[in-house]
Amino acid sequence: MKISTKGRYGLTIMIELAKHYGQGPLPLRQIAAEKSLSEAYLEQLVSPLRNSGLVKSVRGAYGGYMLAHPPAEISAADVIRVLEGPIQPVEGIEEEESPQRELWIRIRDAVKNVLDTTSLEDLATHTDSEPLDGYMFYI
């Protein structure tokens, strides 16, 4: 499964909104400037997030966007599903042989579990001092 820039930048928006939760609306231009991203692209991404009820918009000079729910109640999966669609590593797994189908289902379930159990609060409060899993892959 590959997460596109829609999912990555959408998650960036949501993490920044989580960091500012309770402080009022945050303009997308500020997120775009701080993260060196296109404001126009972020505007396109925030629309489905607003339509799904994950964010609220506030108009006016001091307007912007804010989370519609506390960061602890919004999972990374909520954001990815809105922007990317269903979480599945392979299309058409029903047609696969049983061992392969079982593998794809296990991979899908593992990815879903990580995304479902990671809240925006977890991502917003993450520090670089936390140890990484020591996985090293060589190809």
Tens-level pLDDT at each residue, the chain (139 residues): 678 999 999 999 999 999 999 999 999 999 999 999 999 999 999 999 999 999 999 998 889 999 999 999 999 999 999 999 887 777 777 777 888 888 888 988 999 999 999 999 999 998 876 555 655 555 5
Q: What is the pLDDT of residue 131?
A: 58
User: What residues contact 43, with CB distance under 8 A and at least 6 apart?
Assistant: 28
d(CA 75, CA 120): 6
Class of domain 5-125: mainly alpha
Q: Which residue has the tokens 């190809």?
A: 139
Do 20 and 26 meet the contact criterion of CB atoms below 8 Å apart?
yes
Sequence letter at residue 33: A
Q: Which residue has the tokens 């960061």?
A: 71
Q: Where are the domains of the chain?
A: 5-125
How much is the pTM?
A: 0.84
